[in-house]
Structure 1
């Protein structure tokens, strides 16, 4: 149902986070007719109408996490308007503790992602993912200082039952992220978001 709902919105790219192995064949089969190209690394994936090449994992794992953890992907999308580097990421959650909000892992992961984006040789770049922070969050400054954010729309995405903030983001370099909006609930604790991107 989630795969069909996302495909019905008609995007060129679909980024997914928290992919579990048992669900992957369902996404592959359901999305294949309209999205014949996909890349999955760890628990994140990208489905595309356009050919993908050079897919590889991104190392954005904070040092304090000792278990297996792979939440970053980088690939190249071959669009009719040229090649675009596409990044999909799922940053660690901000935890509520007795001492307050704990964001050090999220912030460290954002820093690693920002360094990877700064080193990207392709000029045009799109970042899609669950960044566990709003664009005004200083912890995401390694990203927001390098990338364009949505120009219009609120698209509050979390929590799905009563959305209070958008912690799921679409950002770009050498491209403009126009209107951003939410899609109907899918059963996830986040609402999906959709954005229109104008390539420079």
Structure 2
């Protein structure tokens, strides 16, 4: 059976999520310490607490329009608020009566949760599912204006780790990875997003 884990860099009050953006969005966000135009509040934005999952998705920031890696520290209260309103992107039989029940809930949900294979530093899939959270236009304003505590540029870090990997220095590269631990949400939320069975 697949394991579902939220792996994250977090403390008692906050949690770090990662996003990859073009400079046009990332640089103003870093300057203002919150997302501003041309960042759009009218579209879904996806946040991911797993650094290595985002590295795989953005190819270490080498993909077009994903060249800057941002570490966004948000409040744990906001993170749990988002998860508490989430519906999975696929109809998990443990959580929904049937596919119609799931479709109805998904249509109305301000937040979506998707579970994808966690990655190794080399991009190989692990038998553990890692979370990504989609914030719809109905809630993304809270992410930007209420939940965000700090935005840091992790692009140099991503480049450093990638460079070490290219040199065959995997052990040294691993030493620069952000420290992530398993994050345990409120039990009711854990059930809602499929970490534990209802």
TM-score norm. by structure 1 comes to 0.24
- Structure that is richer in helix per residue: 2
* Higher relative contact order, chain-length normalized (CA < 8 Å, sep 6+): 2
Return the structure number with greater strand share.
Answer: 1
Compute the TM-score of the two structures, normalised by the length of structure 2: 0.24
Q: Which is greater in Rg?
A: 2
